[in-house]
Structure 1
């Protein structure tokens, strides 16, 4: 067996994960990238509006994809590129969710995919204060200049997986998972005619209701307070997917989020996490609002809770910092 897989990265137009506007792919054979591809695309119809937050991250605007094929039209070519490969993604719950929701709202069925999440593997094999792509890529010795360029992010993801396999003396994905005592996860086949995923149903429902989008500099909406209301700490969902990056984690939120703190806790608990209200020796993940990005860890723009996390990490506690944007990707969008 050889270390063969395809790394994949999507960028989306808005908070719904079924709104892909860009994809990057890196095909790996024997631990070496042998072929790459990337596309711009229009998101599926009725889910193709571009939100400020997303464009600020990846720089793609509606006019950049005007006249391009929609995701559903392009997917046969995308799918043909990776074929039956194991798919690797940094936060695979998001990227596999993009495929599923994007196909669902396009009225298309999708096959089952075996996949690898390099966030999960980074957490397992590295010791980083943040397992975001820039930090994991740096640990793996992989160049990453234009983060959120889909092609470059896919290439970085591939490099991280190759590095982790090398560190574990694994010559294939199967050997790597065996050495770590893990089971390779799979996204099952799906057919929108037989039922939709929760994320897709929520997005469709939102089209008939109202949503609250807030950009930096806007006034805080009525009902929000400068000191966020923590709300109750719901119990973890016992039926959550064990392969999800939040499953089994003890999470704490800090800073001003774009959703309410109780809603954030509920979403985390749905994925099998245990929300708490303050950083303790039990905390494994701190989710930071206020527009935080991983680079702020080095710049020192941190809340009190985030500073406490850095102190605990320096003392050897296995704890990491996640941006709200990364969290929303993990739980299926805004």
Structure 2
């Protein structure tokens, strides 16, 4: 049961105000929408008070927690420790679906999304998924779900700007911003989508990656064109503990589809040959998850 809701609009931390057009097409929020809104550092204490001591639940929680951490770091404010649950990871253990994107899982949980990517609607769907999973195990809390599954509750440590360094994700983002600004200044900035014609090697998985991450231990194959090269995508996946491969086989557990693919294409049939192969294997009972470019990029931060 949902007992309380909260919704906030905020401006990004100062110096990080760029709104990528691709992101705007997803969430519909423009710079004008937040022009008069307070900054993250002013809003987050209210958000933190709303959370209180409850565990956080999010679909692809690593991304959301990474955003909170990075925003706190560049804002120079502390962030608390959180226990959390990822409904991507939990849904894989409780449903058998062709895709574990939020719309597919929400429908399976009996809480179909009416306006995907609206923050409140997505949060309601995520809550509904968590309630449905808890009911499946006869428990009444998030922690009860993990106890029933005999899993440790994932946890992120607090951040103190006085003593803690910046995370790797924040450092990488700052480096990319600097590179982008330098490219614009020199007239060498590039845009557009890059070809994935070069498959590249399959890097060794990072066995020290977070085991709670949804890509850890997965065998990942890429197909189609993304906004980055396939070798770079493989490197990012491997950093989170995934084993990358070049072809769909009986070992494949995740297929990342580019070329503008969305999960709804699984129903419409607009698929690459590798994706068609995945659907064939799914019909035979092999559990392979299909991710869009956006879902993959969220997972790798």
Query: Structure 1 length normalisation: TM-score?
Result: 0.85
> Unmatched 5+ residue regions in structure 1?
1-31
Instruction: Determine the structure 2 residue equivalent to 1:327.
Output: 296
1:65 is aligned, of 34, 42, 54, to 34
Conservation of the 8 A alpha-carbon contact between 2:76 and 2:161: yes
Instruction: Determine the structure 1 residue equivalent to 2:186.
Output: none
Q: Displacement, 1:299? A: 1.1
Q: Which has the higher helix share?
A: 2
Secondary structure of the residue that 1:207 maps to in structure 2?
A: helix
Q: Displacement, 1:213? A: 6.5
Matched, 1:242 2:184: no
Instruction: Determine the structure 1 residue equivalent to 2:229.
Output: 260
State the distance in 2 between where 1:51 and 1:273 align. Answer: 28
Q: Kindly report which structure 2 residues correspond to 1:261-300, keeping only aligned pairs within 5 A, or say none.
A: 261-300=230-269
Instruction: Determine the structure 1 residue equivalent to 2:62.
Output: 93
Instruction: Determine the structure 2 residue equivalent to 1:7.
Output: none
Q: Displacement, 1:206? A: 1.7
Q: Displacement, 1:306? A: 0.7
2:108 is aligned, of 104, 123, 139, to 139
Q: Displacement, 1:181? A: 2.0
Query: Structure 2 length normalisation: TM-score?
Result: 0.94
Instruction: Determine the structure 2 residue equivalent to 1:118.
Output: 87
2:118 is aligned, of 149, 154, 170, to 149
Instruction: Determine the structure 2 residue equivalent to 1:308.
Output: 277
Secondary structure of the residue that 2:290 maps to in structure 1?
A: strand
Conservation of the 8 A alpha-carbon contact between 2:234 and 2:244: yes
Instruction: Determine the structure 2 residue equivalent to 1:22.
Output: none
Secondary structure of the residue that 2:8 maps to in structure 1?
A: strand
Q: Which has the higher strand share?
A: 1
Q: Displacement, 1:191? A: 2.2
> Unmatched 5+ residue regions in structure 2?
184-188
Matched, 1:192 2:148: no
Could you report, residue by residue, the CA deviation over 1:134-170 in whole angstroms, capped at 9, with x for unpaired residues?
0000000003111000001000000000001111212
Secondary structure of the residue that 1:136 maps to in structure 2?
A: helix
Q: Displacement, 1:192? A: 3.3
Q: Kindly report which structure 2 residues correspond to 1:3-152, keeping only aligned pairs within 5 A, or say none.
A: 32-152=1-121
Matched, 1:202 2:154: no
State the distance in 1 between where 2:191 and 2:93 align. Answer: 35
Q: Matched residue pairs, number?
A: 293
State the distance in 2 between where 1:141 and 1:287 align. Answer: 26
State the distance in 2 between where 1:213 and 1:188 align. Answer: 37
State the distance in 1 between where 2:161 and 2:251 align. Answer: 40
Could you report, residue by residue, the CA deviation over 1:12-39 in whole angstroms, capped at 9, with x for unpaired residues?
xxxxxxxxxxxxxxxxxxxx10110111
Conservation of the 8 A alpha-carbon contact between 2:130 and 2:142: no
Secondary structure of the residue that 1:36 maps to in structure 2?
A: coil
Secondary structure of the residue that 1:171 maps to in structure 2?
A: coil
State the distance in 1 between where 2:17 and 2:272 align. Answer: 35
Root-mean-square deviation over aligned CA pairs: 1.3
Secondary structure of the residue that 1:229 maps to in structure 2?
A: coil
State the distance in 1 between where 2:213 and 2:24 align. Answer: 26
